[in-house]
A and B are shown apart, each in its own frame.
Chain A
Amino acid sequence: MLTYEPDDTFAHRLDPRSKLAVQIGFAVTALAHTTPRALVVFTAFTILGLAAAGVPLWRALYGYRFALPILAAAPVISMLTIGTPWLVPADGVDPALASYRVLLILLFSAAYVRSTPARDSRAAIQRTVPGKPGQLLGMGVGLVFRFVPLLLADLRRIRQAMTARLGSERSVLDRVNRIGVLGLSRAFTRADRLSVALQARCFSWNPTLPALSFSKLDWAVCAFGAVLGLTAVL
């Protein structure tokens, strides 16, 4: 599973905002170009980006393996035709090139995931999105990171309890219904306790944000991201 790992790579030293600028710039330009020449450049860029964050290519591929069949299906289905000759390889070329650039966008984002801790991402939102929405979004993202493992444990306990009572013999609808009711009621019980705890700890619109430093290198990386985005119109 791809997730943040402490390290001292080039990407780890950057501010999350500059990394996001490059991610957005790369995605914008990749979505605008599907020529083989452009894809060669994008491939080299992706390999460089992954290396800058210390992510081996195979690990990025493994991390996004669930998207591979759905991307491979595009050229395969496009090649099929009803009636003779049944298969027209030429029809699959454009979808194959287009799917490949989507794969590169996915792989490139592994660099951000491995090099950015949740705390920095949360601070980046709170410093970038203005006003109260920014505070709520930042805090909310922090809570999602923290509570997913807890709610996952809740869901697993619910499923184990169902299995122990031969719940696996029941219909799919019944199982989904039971997981939905129990999962949601437990999540809301936790939420109500959390809201009391937040108020007890003076949950405010103007908290002290985690420190972030935007260095000269970050400005350069940010500018590079902007230039990358502008190449979409070339």
Chain B
Amino acid sequence: METEQGSVDLVEGDVVRSFARAALLAALMGATAFIAIPISGVPGTLQMLVVFLAGLYLGPGWGAFAIILYLLAGGLGAPVFSGFSAGPGVLLGPHGGFLLTFPVGALLVGSIVHRGRELRDPAAVALPIVILGLVAATIVVYLAGFTWYAWVTETSLPEAFTIVALPLIPGDLLKMAAAIAIVRSGVIDTV
């Protein structure tokens, strides 16, 4: 029987803590796919809210990493996408543009709110800065979302916007308001 000898290269304590929070946030994003909240008459999930929270509470790097973990897990078979679906095809499906830009969204929120590697308390950051981060992330995700849909289904950009982006706007405005309320409550600490 073969044996292998080598020393264990331990992961640093601060990396383990950030990593565990990123992994659990990715799992939370997956769990929210199962929770439908009726928003403006249409059942919506809270995934965009988790993208905001990833950038706000984990910062740009670990926030984007958390969302990448979510996408990878879903792509590799965890039923974490909308409608409990999974598989690599979902990442290239009709909502692929939204999904693939979620990490960019978290990166943008984190970069604008924290402005560097050192994490700030989001509750102490000026409200217009937080709003700017959330709006910038939403615009980028929406742009990529409907442009992707227009490309894969060979529809025009206005048609694609009407089909995949317009119905989501009321819900995402509400999630932005919820993210701001969560930040202002100050009950959650950063890493």
Contacts and interface: CB of A to CB of B under 8 A. Distances in A.
Contacts of B85: 2, 63-64, 66-67, 106
A203 B11 CA distance: 6
Contact of A172 (B39, B70, B153): B39
Give the secondary structure class of B's interface: helix
A185 B190 CA distance: 11
Interface stretch (A36-44, A95-103, A216-224): A95-103
Interface in B127-181: 149, 152-156, 159, 162-164, 174-175, 177-179, 181
A143 B153 CA distance: 35
Nearest to A203: B11
A23 interface: yes
A141 to B, nearest CB: 5
B152 A31 contact: yes
B53 A180 contact: yes
A71 B92 CA distance: 13
B83 A65 contact: yes
A128 to B, nearest CB: 12
Contact of B72 (A24, A31, A137): A137
Contacts, number: 266
A206 B8 contact: yes
A184 B174 contact: no
A163 interface: no
A211 interface: no
Contacts of B94: 67, 70-71, 99, 102
B181 A105 contact: no
A53 to B, nearest CB: 11
Interface string B48-86: 010001000100000001001110110011111011111
A144 B70 contact: yes
Contacts of A124: 76
A208 B153 CA distance: 44
Contacts of B189: 188
Interface residues of B, number: 76
Interface size class of A (residues with CB under 8 A): 35 or more
Contacts of B70: 144
Contacts of B53: 180, 184
Interface in B2-19: 4, 6, 8-11, 13, 16-17, 19
Contact of A173 (B17, B90, B178): B178
A187 B10 CA distance: 24
Cβ-closest 9 pairs across A and B:
A66-B83, A109-B89, A109-B87, A147-B27, A121-B76, A74-B153, A144-B73, A195-B20, A191-B24
30 contacts: A3-B77, A3-B79, A4-B77, A23-B88, A27-B92, A97-B154, A102-B92, A106-B89, A106-B90, A108-B89, A109-B90, A113-B87, A116-B77, A125-B72, A136-B65, A137-B68, A140-B22, A151-B28, A173-B178, A176-B49, A184-B25, A184-B57, A184-B182, A187-B21, A188-B57, A191-B23, A203-B10, A204-B9, A204-B11, A208-B4
Interface of B: 4, 6, 8-11, 13, 16-17, 19-28, 30-32, 34-35, 37-39, 46, 49, 53, 57, 65, 68-70, 72-73, 76-80, 82-90, 92-95, 149, 152-156, 159, 162-164, 174-175, 177-179, 181-182, 185, 187-189
Interface of A: 1-4, 16, 20, 23-24, 27, 31, 34, 63-67, 70-71, 73-74, 77-78, 94-95, 97-99, 102, 105-110, 112-113, 116, 118, 121-122, 124-125, 136-137, 139-141, 143-148, 150-152, 154-156, 159, 172-173, 175-177, 179-181, 183-185, 187-188, 190-192, 194-195, 198-199, 202-206, 208
Given A113-B86, A184-B28, 14 more contacts: A27-B89, A27-B92, A71-B153, A73-B163, A78-B155, A143-B26, A145-B73, A151-B31, A177-B178, A177-B182, A180-B53, A181-B185, A183-B31, A203-B10
